[in-house]
């Protein structure tokens, strides 16, 4: 089968032919139909994660995976309801199933977690073996290129906004800021409207084309922050919404200067959910965090429940997409475009 594999850190993946993997008795072999491309693929190549997880090579990249059930392992329970040909998406965090995080469903933060696309198996290959419990059914009327990104770009901000909602940060009298309108932010704006409890939604970015997309997806206001001081941005926010601060922030960028801006704009008792990883360190003043009783929510990817909920929204036509569909042999070209940061929407490789 064809596979895009990274053989060395710092080098582009090699597109090559390798054997179709065997499955364990509790696994299902998925024939990949589409796989989204993520900024974290570039970061994996660049070694961003090595300090935290030094994954041995070769690595088959690609973690936004959808496809069809090709072969079912012999101990996969009948009750799981899988049959050959079923359309499925791959939940990303494969936990050990035994720790307390796994036991409450948060397998993606298991200390022994494995991630597809960050090890021997990934979605930039024609087949991938997946433990059956990490597959979720997908409605057959949905296009594969649309559902692939829902396993990361279209799920990660969903979990983040649920955290803001569950913390009581949202309501009709609140303003929610969405920071960064890249692959994740376009979805974040839609979830902000769907789950935002009536909060007004303001999108912040530096690229006017991306902000136009946020507006199209339902943002009540958009603010282009390029070249503006935090005071100017606060003034613009006040004239748009009647208040100069944000009750909640969904940060899809995670860029240091944007986080500094976010914490300057965060209200008393404000909640900040961070899912972005553009930077690696932040320098923010401590006293306002304490005296204004602000909360920072780390939010990472998503679990089976998040993915199942997102797939239910997708099946009902509630999620819109901006996609660049590419071929397998264009993977390296688009990784470079992603590194430059100018891709609008999500890039999806389709077999």
Question: Kind and range of the H or E element at 45?
Answer: helix 39-46
Contact 250, 164 (CB under 8 A): yes
Contacts of residue 16, defined as CB under 8 A and 6 or more positions apart, other chains included, come to 2, 3, 5
* CA 218 – CA 266 distance, rounded (Å): 22
Q: Which residue, 99 or 284, has its beta carbon nearer to Zn ion?
A: 99
Contacts of residue 99, defined as CB under 8 A and 6 or more positions apart, other chains included, come to 110, 111, 112
For residue 110, the minimal CB distance to Zn ion (Å) is 3
For residue 117, the minimal CB distance to Zn ion (Å) is 19
The pairing of beta strand 266-274 with beta strand 295-298? parallel
For residue 53, the minimal CB distance to Zn ion (Å) is 15
Q: Which residue, 96 or 209, has its beta carbon nearer to Zn ion?
A: 96
Q: Which residue, 115 or 204, has its beta carbon nearer to Zn ion?
A: 115
Q: Which residue, 104 or 290, has its beta carbon nearer to Zn ion?
A: 104
**Residue number, nearest CB to Zn ion:** 110
For residue 108, the minimal CB distance to Zn ion (Å) is 10
Q: Which residue, 109 or 325, has its beta carbon nearer to Zn ion?
A: 109
- Interaction site with Zn ion (CB under 5 A): 95-96, 99, 102, 110
For residue 103, the minimal CB distance to Zn ion (Å) is 8
Residues 282-313: b if buried by 16+ CB within 10 A, e if exposed: eeeeeeebeeeebbbbebbbbbbebbebbbeb
For residue 98, the minimal CB distance to Zn ion (Å) is 6
Shortest CA distance to 318 belongs to which of 250, 251, 203, 218?
218
* CA 106 – CA 103 distance, rounded (Å): 7
For residue 94, the minimal CB distance to Zn ion (Å) is 9
Shortest CA distance to 86 belongs to which of 132, 44, 43?
132
Report angle CA 22, 27, 30 to the nearest 5 degrees: 75
Q: Which residue, 77 or 105, has its beta carbon nearer to Zn ion?
A: 105
Q: Which residue, 95 or 129, has its beta carbon nearer to Zn ion?
A: 95
């Amino acid at each position: 089968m064809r596979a895009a594999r990274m053989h060395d850190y710092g080098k582009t993946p090699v597109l090559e032919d390798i054997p179709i993997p065997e499955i364990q008795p509790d696994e299902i072999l998925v024939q990949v139909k589409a796989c989204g491309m993520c900024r974290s693929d570039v970061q994996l190549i660049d070694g961003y994660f090595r300090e935290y997880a030094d994954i041995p090579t070769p690595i088959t990249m690609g973690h936004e995976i959808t496809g069809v059930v090709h072969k079912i392992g012999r101990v996969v329970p009948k009750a799981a309801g899988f049959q050959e040909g079923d359309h499925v998406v791959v939940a990303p965090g494969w936990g050990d199933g035994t720790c307390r995080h796994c036991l409450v469903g948060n397998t993606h933060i298991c200390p022994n977690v494995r991630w597809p696309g960050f090890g021997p198996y990934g979605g930039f290959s024609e087949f991938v073996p997946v433990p059956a419990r990490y597959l979720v059914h997908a409605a057959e009327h949905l296009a594969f290129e649309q559902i692939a990104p829902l396993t990361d770009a279209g799920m990660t901000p969903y979990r983040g906004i649920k955290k803001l909602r569950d913390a009581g940060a949202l309501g009709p009298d609140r303003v929610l800021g969405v920071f960064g309108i890249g692959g994740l932010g376009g979805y974040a704006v839609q979830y902000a409207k769907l789950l935002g409890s009536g909060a007004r939604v303001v999108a912040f970015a530096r690229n006017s084309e991306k902000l136009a997309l946020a507006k199209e997806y339902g943002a009540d206001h958009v603010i282009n922050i390029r070249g503006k001081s935090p005071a100017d941005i606060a003034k613009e926010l006040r004239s748009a919404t009647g208040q100069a601060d944000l009750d909640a922030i969904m940060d899809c960028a995670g860029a240091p200067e944007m986080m500094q801006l976010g914490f300057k704009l965060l209200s008393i008792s404000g909640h900040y959910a961070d899912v972005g990883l553009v930077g690696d360190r932040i320098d923010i003043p401590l006293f306002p965090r304490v005296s204004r009783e602000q909360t920072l929510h780390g939010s990472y990817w998503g679990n089976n429940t998040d993915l199942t909920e997102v797939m239910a929204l997708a099946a009902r036509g509630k999620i819109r997409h901006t996609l660049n569909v590419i071929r397998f042999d264009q993977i390296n070209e688009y990784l470079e475009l992603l590194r430059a940061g100018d891709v609008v929407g999500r890039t999806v490789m389709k077999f």
